[in-house]
Amino acid sequence: MSTDFNININSEIGKLKGVILHTPGKEVKNMIPENASRALYSDILNIEIVNKEYSQFKGVLDKVTKTFEVKDLFADVIADANIKSSIISEILKNENTFDEDQYILSLSDKELTNQLFEGVLMNKNTVSKFLNKDRYSLKPLYNFFFTRDASISFGNKVIIGKMASPIRDRESLIMDYIFRNHNIFKANTINPNLKIENADLKIEGGDILIAREDILLVGMGARTNSDAIDFLISNIKQDRKTKFHILVQELPTSPESFIHLDMVFTLIDRDRCMVYSPLILKSGTYKTIHIELDEGKTKSITEENNLIEALQKLGMELKPIMCGGNADKWSQDREQWHSGANFFAFEPGKIIGYGRNINTINALNDDGFSVLKSEDVISGKVKIDDYKKCVVTIDGSELARGGGGARCMTMPIYRESVIW
């Protein structure tokens, strides 16, 4: 690859021109019940079904945009021997596995890439290692197919995630090396991992939504904390001297389905959003905070009733569509658990998500979204361009059990500007 690809993300819905994905591989198959919770899963997944469902997801995106695979990008980067040596050194230092350096350095670029993603088996050549219950000296990257979290496109920059769990730190390191070194990208990176003063900071991409060029939405909960919001404010002040708004939505730290803002709220059109209403539309325990910046300074910090009203005050009139439909909280809770609010827009009013969330899909259909099956889009039986608004459904019996949806599985790098 050699064509330059500028980073340009100023909305959640602009027509998508480029996105980074990671197709789940043997790292998912290498999970066992004993390490599932440590890997941030509540269950182990069937890789054969995962692959079938993911192929629907990627097949649709291949029809509408340019897709890049993390593994391919990483393999390109480590073709440079100096970069390869540098990242191996950082990984071994971060994960305290110095005695594996000779073995890892001996691997071909392809095998090194595979093992860094799928796990490096521990050489049981000492008594301590023989007695160690771990199978891997470098653990598999079980969560990497949720590419949203480890790096965040914002304007023409990329913020590197500072992950809440150390088991995901290697994901951030890999994405940092890709954006700093791959010849296809023109990206300025902001990496909070490099500064000691950011030791307590946590930030993941599922909590960062760009509502408009001048409005950033941030979830504050289990994966992104107030230190991260202060970090974002500091960087925005340096770059933007005109008015800018940050809306912070406080999130529960449990259950695990609330880990990110995009699990309860996603933007799907110029005037539509998908919401888990018990949290987003009801003021109460979880605060909505509005920070206004102007001329490089914090002008005000105030509390709002809820996210919808706060956006309305800023000129974004959004009709909320209910995850789980309007029928009852029981259905809303069930479908939110399986990423029923987590949709990914590939252009205004055209989205992709799990078909298993029937009440949510019906609510979209009632609002004018045509329901298209992924296999029909991939085969060419139906053409997305023939529809003004649509939701493309993919199977999600296994993917959803990983704890994320369509937005979680994407890292957009370029969107066209939106005409509001």
Q: Is the pLDDT of residue 237 over 60?
A: yes
Q: How many CB atoms lie within 10 A of CB 131?
A: 8
Sorted by sequence, the CB contacts under 8 Å of residue 194 that are 6+ apart come out as none
- Structure confidence at residue 2 as a pLDDT band (50, 70, 90): very low
pLDDT, tens only, 327-370: 788 899 999 999 999 999 999 999 999 999 999 999 999 999 99
Q: What is the pLDDT of residue 74?
A: 97
Q: Please check whether residue 210 is in contact with residue 12, taking contact to mean a CB–CB distance below 8 angstroms.
A: yes
On the CB side of 32, CA atoms within 13 Å amount to 6
Q: Is the pLDDT of residue 99 over 80?
A: no
Q: Is the pLDDT of residue 31 over 70?
A: no
Average pLDDT on 201-225 reads: 97
- The 8 Å CB, 24+ separation contacts for 36-39 are 38/167, 39/139, 39/140, 39/142, 39/143, 39/167
State the Cα–Cα distance between residues 290 and 304, nearest whole angstrom. 7
On the CB side of 33, CA atoms within 13 Å amount to 0
State the Cα–Cα distance between residues 216 and 307, nearest whole angstrom. 12
pLDDT, tens only, 385-408: 999 999 999 998 888 888 899 999
The angle that helices 81-94 and 109-118 make with each other, rounded to 10 degrees, is 20
Residue 408 a catalytic site member: yes
Which domains does the chain possess? 5-77+140-415 (3.75.10.10)
Per-residue CA distances from 67 to 54, 351, 413 (Å): 14, 16, 10
pTM of the entire structure? 0.94
Above pLDDT 70, what percent of the chain? 96
State the Cα–Cα distance between residues 416 and 14, nearest whole angstrom. 5
Q: Is the pLDDT of residue 33 over 80?
A: no
Task: Describe the chain by its helix, strand, coil percentages, rounded to 5.
Answer: 40, 25, 35
What separation, in Å, do the N-terminal and C-terminal C-alpha atoms of the chain show? Answer: 34
Task: Spot the catalytic one: 273, 323, 390, 408.
Answer: 408
Q: What is the dihedral of CA 249, 253, 255, 260, to 10 degrees?
A: 50
- 227's enclosing H/E stretch is helix 226-239
- 88's enclosing H/E stretch is helix 81-94
Tokens of 66: 């340019």
Q: Please check whether residue 235 is in contact with residue 190, taking contact to mean a CB–CB distance below 8 angstroms.
A: yes
- Structure confidence at residue 156 as a pLDDT band (50, 70, 90): very high
Q: What 3-state class would DSSP assign to 340?
A: coil
